[in-house]
Amino acid sequence: MGKKFYVCVDLEGVACTIGRSGQGLAAGTPEYAFACQQATDETSALLGALRRCGADDVIVWDCHGSGYNLDYHALEGAFAGGHLRFALGAGSRKRLPGLDASCDGLFFLGYHACDAKDATLCHVYSSATFAGMRVNGRPVGELQIDAAVAGRLGVPVKLVASDDICVAQARETFPDAEFVVTKQSLAWNSCLSEAPGAVCGALAEAASRAVDRDGTVFTFPSPFELAVSFKRIEYAQGCALHDVDGNPFGWDGAYTRVGQLRQAEDIFTYI
């Protein structure tokens, strides 16, 4: 029986990707078009390596913005002969659609850092809405929260590829994963990047090693304290999060709401 993997693909962390000042990776910009191509190339390199290592069932989750960024024909070609599915689009609150406990591991491509002032395109979910999130006092971003959703199913993180700051954060939380540094962060819209093709080569090699590693099953304690800091007071006032007792989240200053949740998925019940 072949192996089954789940590949989460965001855009900010791929090679030579920096976004545009004030816009991030906005659709219609040349920076966005390049990021889509490079994310497709990095995902293709990963899929090819996984297929060669015996994977026959993979879901690729296209999770940036609208959820419609990758070249699905190209990715299908990279995983020829295997069962490849795509989770795409927006409007569902479910993170990691289609993931279940039978999956052998999780791969993160293109994710970005959280709470770091010089990290390229650093943010948490929406840079327009949120200033940051903390779990039990520690900063978390999509990477940690999505990994915790998978961790509840017992699925380990096998590989993270992103800029140096995101990878450093990932090393702290997933010590038994493989890592690929795509670029050195210089500022929110600036980096010193490895060449696009070289990153794809490094990814293929790292993926081959990752398949045989245990990886890290990452979870939050239950219950855990979630603090959500908003960019605007009116967003904080509109926060619909309720804690384990059914009460609205409390306040910590004018911009931050705090409460206890039972599991990582509960974050998305109201946000």
What's the closest the beta carbon of residue 206 comes to Zn ion, in angstroms? 21
Compare residues 11 and 70 and give the one whose CB is closer to Zn ion: 11
Q: How far is the CB of 238 from Zn ion (least distance, A)?
A: 23
Q: Helix 196-212 vs helix 30-52: angle between axes, to the nearest 10 degrees?
A: 40
Closest CB to Zn ion among residues 109, 211? 109
Please report, in angstroms and rounded to a whole number, the separation of the first and last CA atoms in the chain: 39
Q: Which is nearer to Zn ion, 25 or 217 (CB)?
A: 25
Shortest distance (Å) from residue 10 CB to Zn ion: 4
Q: Closest Cα partner for 236 from 221, 219, 253?
A: 253
Distance CA 160, CA 170 (A): 7
- CB 64 → Zn ion: shortest distance, Å? 4
Residue 12 or residue 164: which is nearer to Zn ion going by CB?
A: 12
24/156 with CB nearer Zn ion: 24
Of 11 and 228, which has the nearer Cβ to Zn ion?
Answer: 11
Residue nearest to Zn ion (CB): 64
Burial of 151 by CB count in 10 Å (0-12 exposed, 13-18 middle, 19+ buried)? buried
Smallest Cα–Cα separation from 15: which of 204, 207, 203, 194?
Answer: 194
Footprint of Zn ion (CB under 5 A):
10-12, 64
* Cβ-defined contacts of 131-138 (< 8 Å, 24+): 131/229, 131/230, 131/231, 131/255, 132/229, 133/226, 133/227, 133/228, 133/229, 133/267, 134/225, 134/226, 134/227, 134/229, 135/220, 135/224, 135/225, 135/226, 136/220, 136/221, 136/224, 136/225, 137/225, 137/227
C-alpha 193/C-alpha 12 separation (Å) is 12
Q: Which is nearer to Zn ion, 51 or 64 (CB)?
A: 64
